[in-house]
Amino acid sequence: MSTTDILAAIEGGNEPAQGLRPRGVLTARELMREVGAVLRMSEAEVAKLGDLPEDPSEDQTMIINMGPQHPSTHGVLRLMLELQGETVLRCKPIIGYLHTGMEKTAESLTFMQGGTNVTRMDYVSPLNNELVFSLATEKLLGIEGDIPERAVWMRMLLSELNRMSSHLLFLATNGMDLGAVSMMIYGWREREEVLRFFQKVTGLRMNHNFIRPGGVAADLPAGWRDDVLRLLELIPPRLAEYDVLMTGQPIWRERLQGVGVITAQEAIALSATGPTLRGTGIAWDLRRGQPYLHYDELEFDVIVGSYGDAFDRYSIRLNEVRESIRLVHQILDRMPGGDYRIQNKKVTPPPRARIDESMEALIHHFKLFTEGFKVPAGEVYVAIESPRGEIGCYIASDGSATPYRLHVRAPSFVNIQCLPHMMRGGLIADAVAIISSIDPVLGEVDR
Amino acid sequence: MPEPAKPEVDDVVAANSRGQRVVFPHRAEYFASMRALCADSFTMLVDLTAVDYLTYPSGPGSRVLPEGVVAERFEVVVNLLSIARRERVRVRVQVPTDDANIASLFDIYPGSEAMEREVYDMFGIVFIDHPDLTRILMPEDWQGFPLRKDYDQGSIPVQFSGDFAARRVPR
C-alpha cells in the first residue's frame, strides 16, 4: 500500500489493518522488512528470497496466531506466523494489547510524581526506569553534578541488584519455555530473595518509586549490609547449580545453539541493544561505553557472545549476574556516608522533623507535593543500560512542573523487531526459544 | 553555545542542548543528512519519536531554536549512536501540521520501522515510503492520534470529586 493510499484511507476513516498480507499481494519491498533491508539487498534479490516455498499456493501455507494468550509469549505478545508444515516462513509481531497511554499520562504528572509512572513500564527492572527518568530530570534541572555521593552509590547498588533479579527471572522463564520446569521454580526463588531486599529498602517488591530526581527516597535501613552480603553468598552456588542443570546439558544446548541467529551487522541495523547485540560479539554496554554514575571507577567485564544465537544470549545473561555480583561487592566496599538526597530546597522536601516546628517548612512541603517543582525549558535525552538493553528517556520541558513530552525508549519495543528476522526459516518449536531469548517485557513494549 | 558541525553535515544547523549535540536539518534535506550521518559512523538509530508543540508557551525563553530554523507544530526527534566513536547526536526536524509527512528512514536504518509506526500511530505523521505504515499500539479502528496536544486525555469519574454526579454514566 502506498503512502497516498494510506492518506486517502485516513481521510475516509478506513485505515489499513495491521496483519500479515496474503502472499499473492506481497511486494518485494514489504519482504525487505524481514530479509533484505537489513542486509542491504536489492529488491530483485529479495523477491527471489520471497519464493521460499517451492509451491507458494495458499493451501500449502497457513497463518497461525500465536498469542496474545500463549503462555510462552511473556505477556500479551501476539505473533502472526505463516507456516509451511512446521517451518516458519514469515512472522509478524503484533503488539499494543497492554497499551495504556503511559506517555500521555506522564504529561499530566509532575516531575515528582513521574517516577510512579515510569516505574510501571518495565516492571521487571523498575529501578532502572526510575534511574533514567531521574537522570534526565536532573540534567534538565542542571543539578546532575550535585547529587550526593551516597545517593549515587545507592543508585548503583539498587541498579545492579535489579539487574540480578531481572536476569534471574529471565533464567526462570527461559527454562520454563524450554521445558526445564524446575528451573522456573529455582529462578523465581532466587529472584524473590533479591525482591525481599528491595522490600526492606523501598517498602515494595516492585514499582518502587525509590530513585527520585535529586537522590533516593530514603536511606538504607539498618542491617542492609548483612542482607546484601547474605544475598551475595547465597546466589553464586545457585548459579553453579544452574550450570549443572542447564548450561552443560546436551538437551539444553540442542534447543538453543544455532537457534535464532542474528549477525552483528543485522543487530545494529535493527537497533538491537543489550544482550541481543552483545550476543553477536559487539562489546557495547553503556556502563562501559558511555559510563554514567560511577561505573567508570569499577571493575567488571562486558560479556559478549560469538554466534548471536539463543544460547549466547542465555549465557550472557547468566554471566552478567556474576558480573553484577562482582560490582555489588565493590559497591559495598566503597559505599560512602552522608546525605541520600540533594540538599536543594527547590527539589527536596524538608525533613519530617522540621515540619513539626516550622510553618515555612510545612508550606514548602505542601507546595512541593501539590504543585511540584518547576523544571527549566529544554529537551534532553539520557540513556542507561537496563537488563534488556538501552533504556532512554527523552524529556521536552516547557518550564512548568510537568513534562511537556516524555518519551521512553524501551529496549524490548525495539528488540522485538528482530523476531521476524530470527525466526525466518526456523521451526515453530524454536519460536518459543527465540521469543524467550529476547526477554521482552510487554509492559515496556506497549507502555 | 553553538558548536561547529562536522564537515559531513556541513550545511545543517547544529546546536548544543545541555551538552548534547543536536542538528536541525530542514525536512527536504532530512533524508540526505541522515544518510551522511550514517556514513559518518552513526550506524545505529537508537530512538525516533516526535513532539507536538501545539500548546507550548510562546515568548522569550521558551522553545529556543537556532537561527534559520522555522518552528512548526510537530518535531520529529531522532537519536543516533556511533558505537565506534562512542558519540551520540540528536536530529530534530520540523514538520508542519497541514502537511504532516516526512521521509521514512527505513532504507538507511531498518530498525526505524516500529518507531516510525509508533509516531504515525500517536501523532498522525505519515512516513513516506514506509513499508508497512499501520497503527502499532492503538486498535486499528481507532479514531484520532492520542499523543497530539489537542487530543483529550479523558478520565474515569471519581466519587466525591467535583462533577462526579454529572459525569456518571446512566444505567
Residues of B in contact with A381 (CB under 8 A): 20, 47, 77, 79, 88, 90
At B171 the pLDDT is 40
> pLDDT tens across A49-60, in order?
655 555 555 557
Residue B103 Cα, gap to closest chain A Cα (Å): 11
Which residues 416-435 of A are in CB contact (within 8 Å) with B?
A: 416-417
> Which residue of chain A comes nearest to B47, CA vs CA?
A409
Q: Which of A149-153, A377-381, B138-142, B152-156 has the lowest mean pLDDT?
A: B152-156
- Cα–Cα distance for residue pair B126/A367, rounded to 1 Å: 42
Residues of B in contact with A413 (CB under 8 A): 114, 118
Output b/e per residue, A287-316; b: 16+ Cβ within 10 A. bbebebbebeebebebbbbebbbbbbbbbb
Containing H/E element for A62?
strand A62-66
> Are B54 and B148 contacting, i.e. CB atoms less than 8 angstroms apart?
yes
> pLDDT tens across A282-324, in order?
999 999 888 988 999 999 999 998 888 899 999 999 999 999 9
> pLDDT tens across B31-55, in order?
888 888 888 888 899 999 999 988 8
At B6 the pLDDT is 45
pLDDT-based confidence at residue A166 (cuts at 50, 70, 90)? very high
Tell me the C-alpha to C-alpha distance, in Å, between residue B70 and each of A395, B27, B63, B66, B90: 21, 11, 11, 9, 18
- Asked whether residue A408 carries a pLDDT value surpassing 90, the answer given is yes
Query: DSSP letter string over B7-76?
Result: GGGTTSEEEEETTEEEEE--GGGHHHHHHHHHHTT--EEEEEEEEE-TTPPPSTTSS---TT----SEEE
> pLDDT tens across B1-10, in order?
444 444 444 4
Question: Of A301, A38, A350, A331, whose CA–CA distance to A159 is shortest?
Answer: A331
Residue B113 Cα, gap to closest chain A Cα (Å): 8
Please report the domains of chain A, with CATH numbers, ordered by start residue: 1-51 (no CATH), 103-446 (1.10.645.10)
Contacts with A252 (C-beta within 8 Å, 6 or more apart), sequence order = A178, A180, A246
Grid cell at residue A63: 497463518
- Asked whether residue A29 carries a pLDDT value surpassing 80, the answer given is no
B65 touches chain A (CB under 8 A): no
At A165 the pLDDT is 93
Q: Is the dihedral of CA A199, A177, A390, B72 positive or negative?
A: negative
pLDDT-based confidence at residue A409 (cuts at 50, 70, 90)? very high
B70 touches chain A (CB under 8 A): no
> Are B48 and B116 contacting, i.e. CB atoms less than 8 angstroms apart?
yes
Which residue would you say has higher pLDDT here, B141 or A199?
Answer: A199
Contacts with A20 (C-beta within 8 Å, 6 or more apart), sequence order = A63, A80, A82, A90, A92
B27 touches chain A (CB under 8 A): no
At B142 the pLDDT is 83
Tell me the Ramachandran region of residue B91: left when phi exceeds 0, alpha when psi lies from -120 to 50, beta otherwise: beta
At B5 the pLDDT is 43
Q: Phi first, then psi: what are they for A52, rounded to 5°? A: -55, -50
Please report the domains of chain B, with CATH numbers, ordered by start residue: 7-167 (3.30.460.80)
ipTM confidence score = 0.84
At B135 the pLDDT is 86
B20 touches chain A (CB under 8 A): yes
Residue A374 Cα, gap to closest chain B Cα (Å): 14
Residues of A in contact with B115 (CB under 8 A): 271, 414
Containing H/E element for A194?
helix A181-202
Q: In what order do the strands lie in the sheet with A62-66?
A: A62-66, A78-84, A87-94
At B169 the pLDDT is 47
- Asked whether residue A410 carries a pLDDT value surpassing 70, the answer given is yes
Residue A376 Cα, gap to closest chain B Cα (Å): 9
- Asked whether residue A154 carries a pLDDT value surpassing 90, the answer given is yes
> Are A239 and A256 contacting, i.e. CB atoms less than 8 angstroms apart?
no
Q: Is the dihedral of CA A253, A163, A379, B145 positive or negative?
A: positive
Alpha helices in A65-121 (DSSP H): 102-106, 114-118
Residue B169 Cα, gap to closest chain A Cα (Å): 22
- Cα–Cα distance for residue pair A425/A258, rounded to 1 Å: 12
> Are A306 and A281 contacting, i.e. CB atoms less than 8 angstroms apart?
yes
Residues of A in contact with B137 (CB under 8 A): 95-96, 99, 446-447
Mean pLDDT of the A390-405 span: 91
> pLDDT tens across B71-90, in order?
888 999 999 999 988 889 99
